[in-house]
Amino acid sequence: MEGLIFLVVIAVIVYAFVKGNASKSTKPNAGDPYACSGCGVQVKHSRRTISAWERGARSFYCKSCHGKWREVQSSQKPSGCLGMFVFIVVFPAIAITGLFII
């Protein structure tokens, strides 16, 4: 029984070591090619893609696909101006008038 436990512990350690070394990817250099995740075209890494890699991204897009993605993202986000107006102006005004009524 002790031998089996010892073998399982060794197997887990070896698995963790192999898995840890296999998952590490090296930092791309400017000019290294990659395949765009959007259209599949071979493109060279730029400052933008290297910066994305440093922030944790592992799939990259060419300039054209990145522009399309940004357009979709900007069209989906509300500006939030009304919410900030309520928070900054209306909410304190109600709180102040509420204090004077009491």
Q: Tell me the chain's radius of gyration from C-alpha atoms.
A: 26
List all residues 6 or more positions away from 43 whose beta carbon is below 8 Å from its beta carbon: 33, 34, 35, 36, 60, 62, 63
pTM above 0.85, yes or no: no
Q: Give the mean pLDDT per block of 10 residues along the chain (102 residues).
A: 84 80 72 93 93 91 92 74 77 75 57
Cα distances from 65 to residues 40, 52, 79, 100, in angstroms, run: 10, 15, 24, 56
pLDDT for the residue numbered 54 = 92
Sign of CA dihedral 34, 40, 57, 16: negative
- Domains of the chain by residue range: 2-101
CB 35 within 8 A of CB 42: yes
